[in-house]
Amino acid sequence: MRGRVAYFGVFTALALIFSYIETLIPLQFGIPGVKLGLANLVIVLALYKMGTGEAYLLSVVRVLLTGFLFGNYFSIIYSLAGGLLSLSVMALLRKNGGFSVMGVSLAGGVFHNIGQLIVAMLVVETFSVIYYVPVLLIAGMLTGLLIGIVSNEMLKRLVNISM
């Protein structure tokens, strides 16, 4: 139990650092919402090494902390919608079986963007954001796949550590 708490703390710190690094990378694709999602790496690792409950807690804690530190009220709602939808889909696919870490992470990336798009649609009360769907789908897929590949490599090396 003590070990779990310690690991949870380390994971939270790591997620926070990744979120911060993300804000330092000046990646602008001309489309709002397209980013690497480095913090998702930690979420995927938590999902596989610690379990669904811990991953949810980590996700919420991360969003609240990064929101208060680097973002604003909007970025919290935004990230929370994306993060929770993404995690729900990832947990479902992982439980379902048949998907590799890459597949799970890839779906996570896509649904992260879909979650944010839904919030955007509700906030500005327009359907015209639908125009972003193809870009967000492909972008989410590629970044999710990238995160998945890294997660997979990390998980291979973390086999002997139980959390």
> Taking CB under 8 A as the rule, does residue 149 contact other proteins?
yes
| Piece of the chain touching other proteins by CB under 8 A; list 6-14, 29-37, 42-50, 80-88 | 29-37
Give the C-alpha separation, 144 to 159, whole Å.
22
Which stretches of the chain are DSSP H helices?
2-24, 39-49, 52-70, 73-96, 101-124, 133-157
Min CB(53)–other proteins separation in Å:
25
1 or 24, CB closer to other proteins? 24
13 or 153, CB closer to other proteins? 153
68 or 131, CB closer to other proteins? 131
Task: Quickly count: other Cβ atoms within 10 Å of residue 8's Cβ.
Answer: 17
Q: Dig out the tokens for 75 from the structure.
A: 């970025």
> Taking CB under 8 A as the rule, does residue 150 contact other proteins?
no
Q: What is the footprint of other proteins within residues 110-139 (CB under 8 A)?
A: 110, 120, 123-126, 128-131, 133-134, 137-138
Give the C-alpha separation, 113 to 34, whole Å.
8
Min CB(162)–other proteins separation in Å:
22
On the 0-12 / 13-18 / 19+ scale of CB atoms within 10 A, 153 is exposed
Q: Dig out the tokens for 53 from the structure.
A: 């409950």
Residue ranges binding other proteins (CB under 8 A): 28, 30-33, 72, 74-75, 78, 98-100, 102-103, 106-107, 110, 120, 123-126, 128-131, 133-134, 137-138, 141, 149, 152
